[in-house]
Amino acid sequence: MHSRVRVAANAAKGETMKFVPNYDKGFKPMIVALREFNQAVMASAHKTLSICVERNCGYNYIYNLEIFDTDDKALAEENYRVAERIIKSILWIAGGYKIYLCGDKYVYNAINDDYSATGARAFDFNFMANVYETPFEVVWVENKKDFPEAKSCSLAIGGHLDGCRIGFDAGGSDRKVSAVIDGEVVYSEEVVWFPKTNSDYHYHYEGIKQAMLTAASKMPRVDAIGVSSAGIYIDNKIMVASLFLKVPEEDFKKHVRTMYMDIAKEIGAPIEVANDGDVTALAGAIDLHDTGILGIAMGTSEAGGYINLGGTLNGWLSELAFVPVDFNRDAMVDEWSGDYGCGVKYFSQDAVIKLAEYSGYTFDENLSPAEKLKVVQKMMADGDERAQKIYEDIGIYLGYSLAFYSQFYDIKHLLLLGRVTSGKGGDIIMEKAREVVKAEFPEYASISIEMPDENSRRVGQSIAAASLTDIAK
Domain that holds residue 49: 44-146
Same domain, 182 and 134: no
Instruction: Report if residue 21 sits inside a domain.
Output: no
Domain boundary among 129, 146, 163: 146
Same domain, 241 and 140: no
- The pLDDT of residue 457 is 64
pLDDT mean over 248-259: 95
Instruction: Report if residue 471 sits inside a domain.
Output: yes
Domain boundary among 146, 178, 197: 146
- The pLDDT of residue 463 is 85
8 A C-beta contact, residue 471 and residue 163 = yes
* Strand blocks (E) in 24-106: 46-54, 60-68, 98-102
Instruction: Report if residue 13 sits inside a domain.
Output: no
Residue 401 has a CB neighbour count (10 Å cut-off) of: 25
Q: What is the pTM of this model?
A: 0.89
Same domain, 139 and 186: no
* Structural domain total, the chain: 2
pLDDT mean over 64-86: 97
- The pLDDT of residue 411 is 98
Report the CATH number that the domain containing residue 142 is assigned in CATH. 3.30.420
Same domain, 174 and 132: no
Q: Please write the tens of the pLDDT for every residue from 7-62.
A: 444 333 345 799 999 999 999 999 999 999 999 999 999 999 999 999 999 999 99
The SS3 of residue 229 is: strand
Residue 5, pLDDT above cutoff 70: no
- The pLDDT of residue 16 is 75
Domain boundary among 125, 146, 167: 146
Residue 367 carries which side chain, given as an amino acid letter?
Answer: L
Q: Please write the tens of the pLDDT for every residue from 147-160.
A: 999 999 988 888 89
Instruction: Report if residue 29 sits inside a domain.
Output: no
pLDDT mean over 242-253: 92
Same domain, 114 and 188: no
CA distances from 66 to 5, 7, 21, 82, 377 (A): 8, 11, 30, 10, 44
Residue 188 has a CB neighbour count (10 Å cut-off) of: 16
Smallest Cα–Cα separation from 87: which of 30, 28, 150? 30
Pick the more confident residue, 196 or 34. Answer: 34
Same domain, 211 and 71: no
Q: Any idea what DSSP says for residue 164?
A: E
Same domain, 423 and 374: yes
Q: Please write the tens of the pLDDT for every residue from 400-443.
A: 999 999 999 999 999 998 889 989 999 999 999 999 999 999 99
Instruction: Report if residue 27 sits inside a domain.
Output: no
Report the CATH number that the domain containing residue 378 is assigned in CATH. 3.30.420.40
Same domain, 78 and 137: yes
Same domain, 315 and 206: yes
Instruction: Report if residue 35 sits inside a domain.
Output: no
Same domain, 272 and 340: yes
Mean pLDDT over each residue of the chain, to the nearest integer: 92
Same domain, 346 and 390: yes
Q: Please write the tens of the pLDDT for every residue from 287-335.
A: 889 999 999 989 888 989 999 999 999 999 999 999 999 999 999 999 9
- The pLDDT of residue 299 is 86
Instruction: Report if residue 310 sits inside a domain.
Output: yes
Same domain, 215 and 249: yes
Instruction: Report if residue 22 sits inside a domain.
Output: no
